[in-house]
A and B are shown apart, each in its own frame.
Chain A
Amino acid sequence: RKEVEQDPGPFNVPEGATVAFNCTYSNSASQSFFWYRQDCRKEPKLLMSVYSSGNEDGRFTAQLNRASQYISLLIRDSKLSDSATYLCVVNWGGGGNKLTFGTGTQLKVEL
């Protein structure tokens, strides 16, 4: 079983739609969680950290469910510019500040 699992997609949605991605992680000792965005052949960029109480940044909302070991990202009012791959990232807090990445979920927002 992969340490971090995501549905690879692609998710094709019309502009203005609301779309949600889920991600599951296997290490119950994981301590911090992030969503990164990666455009084609570019570097990953931090989209947002994910906090236990859930957090929102504009059109983006992230949720964490420790009991079920999953993380979600909700994007409201999708824009064409949201088209990218969204990477679920977990840091289990052990040595090395190692980030464990999911393989990503591809989002395509269409007119």
Chain B
Amino acid sequence: EAQVTQNPRYLITVTGKKLTVTCSQNMNHEYMSWYRQDPGLGLRQIYYSMNVEVTDKGDVPEGYKVSRKEKRNFPLILESPSPNQTSLYFCASSPRQGKNQPQHFGDGTRLSIL
């Protein structure tokens, strides 16, 4: 089954404790992206990757890191999480970059930073 898989689905942690949210897709997509969703703000892009070893900042990259060592995986790293990073996070992928490429989303990861 074609899918984007995120882990964990839920995480409650404390300020400053490094965490990683994994994202994996099995569709051989070139393009992957991370979004966060907050009430009243909609989904905002954090980072994106157009292919292996090619990543770039989105609209709200501060406090996050990503890597793309393999085509299928695109982990999101919070080196020192803070309460303002409490949010619902989505990973997405599409076959390639391009204006007519809709994106497929993972199930989401709900992070609470205390």
A46 to B93, CA, bound (A): 12
Contact A97–B107 (Cβ < 8 Å): no
Interface stretch of the complex, out of B14-22, B63-71, B78-86, B97-105 = B97-105
A43 to B50, CA, bound (A): 21
- B48 at the A/B interface (Cβ < 8 Å)? yes
A-B contact count (CB 8 A): 66
A110 to B33, CA, bound (A): 36
A6 to B72, CA, bound (A): 34
- B90 at the A/B interface (Cβ < 8 Å)? yes
Closest to A49 in B: B102
Total number of A residues with any Cβ neighbor in B under 8 Å: 23
Contact A32–B100 (Cβ < 8 Å): yes
A1 to B42, CA, bound (A): 14
Q: From residue 38 to 63 of chain B, which have CB atoms closer than 8 A to chain A?
A: 40-45, 48, 50, 56, 58-59
A91 to B31, CA, bound (A): 14
> B32 → chain A, closest Cβ, in Å?
10
- B94 at the A/B interface (Cβ < 8 Å)? yes
- Residues in B with CB closer than 8 Å to A59 are none
Total number of B residues with any Cβ neighbor in A under 8 Å: 31
Contact A43–B90 (Cβ < 8 Å): yes
> B41 → chain A, closest Cβ, in Å?
7
Contact A44–B43 (Cβ < 8 Å): yes
- Residues in A with CB closer than 8 Å to B104 are 46
Query: Can you name 25 A-B residue pairings with CB atoms under 8 Å?
Result: A4-B42, A31-B99, A41-B88, A42-B108, A43-B90, A43-B108, A44-B90, A46-B102, A49-B100, A49-B102, A87-B42, A96-B33, A96-B45, A96-B56, A96-B97, A98-B48, A98-B58, A98-B59, A99-B33, A99-B92, A99-B103, A101-B42, A102-B42, A103-B41, A104-B42
Residues of A within 8 A of B (CB): 4, 31-32, 34, 41-46, 49, 87, 91, 93, 95-99, 101-104
